[in-house]
Structure 1
C-alpha cells in the first residue's frame, strides 16, 4: 500500500530531525567539555588541599608533637565537610582519618589508589581523590614521610551536571519542536503558489480561462512553475478561442451551400417540372455538393497536419517543371482574365510531388483571383546555401498590415474586398502552410506598394541548383 505524505509535513520533519541532530551533537560536545572542565577544577582543588595539608603539617615545626599537628590539620579542614583526608605511614598503616565517611572500607583498611587520580563511590555518592607523599621534618639524619589520601565529594558536581543534562535535553526537544513549526510555516508559505495553482485549476472551464496567477509574491523556486502554468493557461485560452472561431467559421461556410440546396430543393418540389428543369436543378445541387466535399476534404487534410500524420514521399522534384505544368494548367483561366504568368529560375528539392504541386497551385490560384486585368504573376525559383526559395508575386489590392499574420489561419481572408472576389472557403493558404511545414520549410507573406508576394523556403538538398 502506497503511503502518501504531505510535502509540508516532510519538510517540517526534516527541519526537526536536522535541528535535533545538530543540537544533540552540540549537547554531547558541551557535556564532554563540561566534564573535562570539572575534572580540571577537581584536580586543582585536590592539589590545593594537598598544599594546605603540607603547610599544616610543617607549620608545627621540627619539634612539634603529633597532637599539635593533628589539631592544626583539623583546624584547616573546618567548614570543608566535602573533603576527607586519610594518613598512612610508610608501611601502609592508617594513622589518622579526617571525615572518614568519604572513604571505602578497603581504603580505610590500607588499600592504595590504582593511579594518580581515581574515582570511587561511597554510599552512592561519587568521589574523586589523589594520593601523595608528604615529607615531615625531624631532628635525625633521615626525613620522615607519610602518605596522604585526599578525597573530594562530587555530589554537587553530579547534581549540577544532571540538571544541565535535563535542561539540555528539554532545550533540544523544544528547539526541535520549534524547528518543526518554523519548517512547517516556511513550507506552508512557500507552497502557497502551488495551492493557488490547484485552486485555479479547479475553477477552470472552457468559459473561464482568463485567470492568471500572481508572480510577484511567488518564491524563486516555484516562479518558473507559475510562469509555465500561466503560459499554459494563455495557450489554452488561445486554443479554445481558435476552436470557437473555427467552429463558427465551419458553420458559416457550410450554411451557404446547405441553404442553397434546401432552397433549390424546395423550389423544385413546389410544382411539377419538366425533365430538363429537374436535370438543371440536380446539376446545380451537384456543384454545391462538390463544394461541401472539397471543404470537408480540406478540413480532414488540416486535421492530419495538426496531428503530424501527413505522409509524403521523398523524391527529387524539379520545381521549374512543376511550375511550368501548373502554368499550362491555368493558361486558359489566365487568358480569360488577361493575366500573364511567368516563371524565373529553377531548383530541385526532396519531397512529395503531389503535395508540393498542391501548395504551389493554391498560391497561383489565389494570385489569379486577385490580379487585375493585364496584370502579371511572377513565379521566381532560386537556391543558395540557406535553402530553396519559391516566390509567387502578383499586383493587385494589398493585404492590410494587420492581416498579414492571420492570412494563413483557417477560414480567414485578407480583407472584405479580397473576400468578395473569391469563392474559396479560406483554407487554401492554411493547407499550403501545412504542406510546407511537413517538408521542413516555412512560408511568409509580404504586401506593399500594390505587390503581394508569398515566399516558400524549403531545405536545400544535394540536387538543388542555383538559378
Structure 2
C-alpha cells in the first residue's frame, strides 16, 4: 500500500477521488436513463412498424389475396433500410423477408424467436425485434393468420451510446484531474501559514527570537496554531532574555568573591609572611568561599523549584511560634541598631516548617537591611475562611514602582540605595517566592510613603492554632 506523506497531496487525492466517485455515479445513472430512453424509443418505433404492417395487411379496401397484400407491404418499406420484416404462416414457413440482412440464417429458415421481444446480433450489428400475429381477411374457410417479426437495427444507437460513454469517462478523468489540481491549490494556499512556521523556525536562534507569524490571512483552523507559535516565541524570547540576564548576574556576583580571593592570594604570595598573617588571609578567603557556597546552594534550590522537584513535608506549622523564634534570633542585630521587631496575630498552616521558616527569615533579614536605625519591623499574621496571610512590613527607602514587578527575580534589587545597604546576592526574595509557590500560595510587595510590605498568602488548610 502506497502511503502519501504530504498533507497537500492527500487533500488533492481526496478531492480527486470524491469528484471521480460522484461523477462516476452520475455517469452510471445517466447511462442507465439513456439506455431506458432508447429502449423506449426502439419499442415505440417497432410498435409503429407493427401498426403499419397490420394496417397494410388488413386493409379492407385492398384487392387481391395474401400475396398481393405482402407485395404491398414490401412497397411500403422501401426506404426503411434499418427495419426488416419476416413473415411466417401458422406452420412456421417463411412467406417473405423484407431486408433479410437484418435476420439470422436460422430466423430466415423459419426458427421462431425466443420471446415476443428479443435481441440478436447479425454480423456484429445489434438488433431488437418484436413478433406479432396478424389475422388477414378470411378467404373462404381458410385461416389467413400470419406471424410478423419486425427487426430494428440498433447500430446507430449503440454508436451514439458508445460516444457518450467515451465522452463521459473522458469528462470524469478531466474533472478528477481538475479537482485534484484545485484541491492541491487550495491545500497549498491553506497550509501556507504552516510553511511560514517552518521557515520561521529554521531562522530562529538565540539571537533572533523577535520574529512573529502574521495571522491576518491565516484560516481559522491554522490561526490558533499560529497564535500558539507566536506565544511560544514570546515565551522563548523572554526566557532567553532572563537567561542572559541571569548569566550576566551570576558572572557579576561571582566576580567579586573570586577577585577578592585572587587579590588576597597574590598579596599573600608577594612576600614571606608570618603564620598569623597567613591565618588572617585564610580566614578572609574562607568567608569568600562561604559566600560562593551559599550562592551556589541558593541557585540549586531555585533550579529545583523551577523544575517542580522541590519536595517538602506537610505538617502543622504555627506561624506565630516560628515568627517569635526568628525575632529572638535577630534580636541582637536589631538591638544594635535600635530596631524594634513586633509580631501581631497568629495562625497555623499545613506545610514544611523549615522551608516556611526560611521564607520568613529571608523577609525579616531583608527588612532589617533596609530599615533605618530606630525604625520598626512589623510581622502581621491573620486568617479568614479561605486564606492565611503573613505580612512583613518595615519603614525605609521605598522600592520604585517600576521595580516592584521584578523584585522577586534572581539577583535583582529594588534600587541603588537598597542595593548599597544589602550584602546579599539578591536571591533571598526569589527563594521566598519559590517556597511560597511550592505551598500553593502567592507573595506580593507594596512600597509607598516610606514603607514597604511583603505579604504571603497561603491556602487555608489550617490546623488548630496554639495560643
TM range (shorter): over 0.9
Residue in 1 that maps onto 2:98: 98
Residues 273 and 62 (structure 1), Cα distance of their counterparts in 2 relative to 1, 3 Å cut? closer
Residue in 2 that maps onto 1:343: 343
Q: Secondary structure at the match of 2:377?
A: strand
Residue in 1 that maps onto 2:20: 20
1:260-275 map, 5 Å: 260-275=260-275
Residue deviations 1:421-466 (CA, integer Å, cap 9, x gap) = 1111110000001111111222111223332221112222251559
RMSD over equivalenced CA pairs, Å: 2.3
Q: Secondary structure at the match of 1:55?
A: helix
Residue in 2 that maps onto 1:437: 437
1:61-460 map, 5 Å: 61=61, 63-138=63-138, 144-460=144-460
Shift of 1:172: 1.6
Residues 207 and 466 (structure 1), Cα distance of their counterparts in 2 relative to 1, 3 Å cut? farther
Shift of 1:59: 3.4
Q: Secondary structure at the match of 1:214?
A: coil
Residue deviations 1:133-152 (CA, integer Å, cap 9, x gap) = 22333476898432211110
Residues 333 and 4 (structure 1), Cα distance of their counterparts in 2 relative to 1, 3 Å cut? farther
Unaligned runs of 5+ in 1: none
Contact 2:4–2:10, Cα closer than 8 Å, also in 1: no
| Counterparts of 2:118 and 2:125, CA distance in 1 | 14
Residues 3 and 51 (structure 1), Cα distance of their counterparts in 2 relative to 1, 3 Å cut? closer
| Counterparts of 2:376 and 2:156, CA distance in 1 | 113
Contact 2:347–2:462, Cα closer than 8 Å, also in 1: no
Residue in 1 that maps onto 2:42: 42
| Counterparts of 2:94 and 2:2, CA distance in 1 | 75
| Counterparts of 1:380 and 1:116, CA distance in 2 | 112
Residues 466 and 190 (structure 1), Cα distance of their counterparts in 2 relative to 1, 3 Å cut? farther
Residue deviations 1:348-381 (CA, integer Å, cap 9, x gap) = 1122111110000001111111222332222111
Contact 1:62–1:138, Cα closer than 8 Å, also in 2: no
Q: Which moved more, 1:388-397 or 1:57-66?
A: 57-66
Q: Which moved more, 1:43-52 or 1:5-14?
A: 5-14
Contact 1:11–1:183, Cα closer than 8 Å, also in 2: yes
Residue in 1 that maps onto 2:53: 53
Shift of 1:254: 1.2
Residues 464 and 127 (structure 1), Cα distance of their counterparts in 2 relative to 1, 3 Å cut? farther
Q: Secondary structure at the match of 2:58?
A: helix
Contact 1:390–1:457, Cα closer than 8 Å, also in 2: yes
Residues 138 and 2 (structure 1), Cα distance of their counterparts in 2 relative to 1, 3 Å cut? closer
Q: How many aligned residue pairs are there?
A: 467
Residue deviations 1:164-194 (CA, integer Å, cap 9, x gap) = 1111222222222222222222222222222
Residue deviations 1:312-359 (CA, integer Å, cap 9, x gap) = 222211111101100111111122222221112211112211111000
Q: Secondary structure at the match of 2:235?
A: helix
Contact 2:318–2:466, Cα closer than 8 Å, also in 1: no
Q: Secondary structure at the match of 1:59?
A: coil
Unaligned runs of 5+ in 2: none
Q: Return the TM-score normalized by structure 1.
A: 0.94
